[in-house]
Structure 1
């Protein structure tokens, strides 16, 4: 695996390379782009190396945020990068708390943390045609990185009916559905999950809501307004809106309820060990049609080699000298030039961070903490919902 940009990327001869850990290289280089020169920072990860792995960084709760460097240090990572787009503000819903929860699905250590919000409820730039919020990048138990989509399947069974599960630890539920909130959600208010519609994030919050808490297979609590506060381990809070609320309202304390859920991959034959959301920009070595070639910004992205054994984590520099950034189309071309066959866009702007042993972050050999390797465009690290951590046993 090379430690410098592959052929096809103009780096102006300014590539700087260092070894972070076994199987992990860090380098940065300059890219002459349509809006001016920008600087890219890259963690180059060899998944063939048994001492090296990647996993989900998150604050321990879906509805929470933290800086990438804090997440990386807390998990013992040697490097990391910010991840999915997230529910950052709620100006259209006065009095409603922004949850900080990510848009897409998330899997940590093989366990489903959350499902994808409806397409119309996402935050972030426009996705390519045909792409949905279910799109993920992840690594399977076979140690191969891949792109896929993860669909939530689940059901709520009561003595009277069976209801399809519409959400799992999500800041937005489909209209008319029932969603499940577990201890993974955290203490953030669940009210936001009943605001907006499947096609309009800013639509008013529903006036027809209900929630029940289920523990030991029985209803133990019921309320017309979604609540807040931690969900105890072994308890599931079911939140319904419209038709979903009407179904939950028929339940009484002590009624039997069984809820189950899983995330189902559209293409992967090997379960994901970790996965997070964003959207694809490169497939089979070709940029997806319809990528934005006009709007330039500081970006974060990931690239995967043809065999899934090499993972590139890329974050652009947000310092004034390089803040012109890249368009999404230029990100795809850059990843292809680095040797990637698959490419995936992650959150950008003030969220873009890369850190090493260590928002790209990385740890220098022998250092006790990671260092932010790029310059976040806001001048300091923005707390984010999740990220990709790089780990080494070396």
Structure 2
């Protein structure tokens, strides 16, 4: 592919900080140190649709002062600018994360949640599970990938690609029901999902809209909601509600067969809700994880990656046995907005040394931030294609104790 995208334009045009509002970068400089084990560089890439510009953070997890973590605004169903989340959590750098439910044009009057398609783990705590594949808001998934796919870092400080499936149950005196969702904007048909204080105050109605194969299908007319506090049913409602959920409280939302099961619950009934995310490949617990989809596995792109639609992209690569990561964001300035296809992103990540790579949300969401030497706050290094940072639900943060 154009000699690995002209070898990232001879791996040239490396430059310093290109802040929002500044002209696109030019010139040749060495990578800039952001923190011990963290460097930033930028360079041109000649793609099939034209010249584009990449910004890359290299993170060395062999440096014990450096770690990766989930950036998020304190609730699953909430959004904030990457720079705001990074500064609030003390990150020295970061990029945007998973694809998310940004609009609800298919369901007039239903509130968009701002919640992501895939699973999320922050500091070892499970925040949410994935929506059904047919309900995801992001672009069509490549063959063989699902909304359960994640990139994460284990407690062993190694990054890896994996798949995280929800395993949970609702236990009552008369039996056990399977849990079909956790803090996610779309529940499987006929299921019961759990919402906790991590969800936020956004309406839970969207969880009962669409079907497992058609996100635009009508909202279910057969729904029910039960609130559990202290392992006891404290209230019931004929439809999903909204508003903050108190700590220690779980709201169960059912649709179709799930709703019919919840209608059998009675006030004061003992109910225990349990849930966890089960990894497909790793036996190591994850300290952080978020969704997207793989574009490189074992040095090879999966079959069926799109090679026609070019856009501004965000991706993350894994090298050196999971100890080195490459956080990659294209520039959205008009001169570079032709972007790359997903197949070209895979080629670019491999040229940078990645063995595995993972696509994150792109377009107007693509944002890369990093602190300048001596600065106490991050600055935006690429030009977001909407001329300002888009609020997003999560991202990857780079943290340093030095």
Q: Please indicate, yes or no, whether the TM-score normalized by the shorter chain is above 0.5.
A: yes
Cα pair 2:117 2:138 within 8 Å, conserved: no
Cα pair 1:214 1:237 within 8 Å, conserved: yes
Alignment of 1:79-94 (within 5 A): 79-94=93-108
**Structure 2 residue aligned with 1:57:** 71
Cα pair 2:8 2:43 within 8 Å, conserved: no
Q: CA deviation at 1:127?
A: 1.5
Q: CA deviation at 1:214?
A: 0.3
Distance 1:344 1:128, change over 3 A: same
1:379 matched to 2:390? The reply is no
Cα pair 1:82 1:346 within 8 Å, conserved: yes
Q: CA deviation at 1:306?
A: 4.1
**Structure 2 residue aligned with 1:357:** none
**Structure 2 residue aligned with 1:322:** 336
What CA deviation, in whole Å up to 9, does each residue of 1:60-96 have, x standing for no partner?
Answer: 0000000000000000000010000000000010100
Tell me, what secondary structure is at the counterpart of 2:325?
strand
Alignment of 1:1-394 (within 5 A): 8-11=7-10, 13-16=12-15, 17-353=31-367, 360-394=368-402
Task: Compute the TM-score of the two structures, normalised by the length of structure 2.
Answer: 0.94
Tell me, what secondary structure is at the counterpart of 2:180?
strand
Instruction: Find the aligned partners of 1:159 and 1:393 in 2 and give their Cα distance.
Output: 49
Q: Unmatched 5+ residue regions in structure 2?
A: 16-30
Q: CA deviation at 1:161?
A: 2.5
Instruction: Find the aligned partners of 1:262 and 1:12 in 2 and give their Cα distance.
Output: 43
**Higher deviation after alignment, 125-134 or 142-151:** 125-134
Task: Compute the TM-score of the two structures, normalised by the length of structure 1.
Answer: 0.96
Tell me, what secondary structure is at the counterpart of 1:287?
coil
Q: CA deviation at 1:136?
A: 0.1
What CA deviation, in whole Å up to 9, does each residue of 1:2-23 have, x standing for no partner?
Answer: xxx9x94334631122100000
Total equivalences in the alignment: 383
Cα pair 2:129 2:277 within 8 Å, conserved: yes
Instruction: Find the aligned partners of 1:211 and 1:365 in 2 and give their Cα distance.
Output: 51
Tell me, what secondary structure is at the counterpart of 1:171?
coil
What CA deviation, in whole Å up to 9, does each residue of 1:187-230 have, x standing for no partner?
Answer: 00000000000000000000000010001111001001100000
Instruction: Find the aligned partners of 2:243 and 2:346 in 1 and give their Cα distance.
Output: 41
Instruction: Find the aligned partners of 2:164 and 2:244 in 1 and give their Cα distance.
Output: 26
Q: CA deviation at 1:160?
A: 2.0
**Alignment RMSD:** 1.1
Tell me, what secondary structure is at the counterpart of 1:92?
coil
What CA deviation, in whole Å up to 9, does each residue of 1:244-264 have, x standing for no partner?
Answer: 000000111001111100000
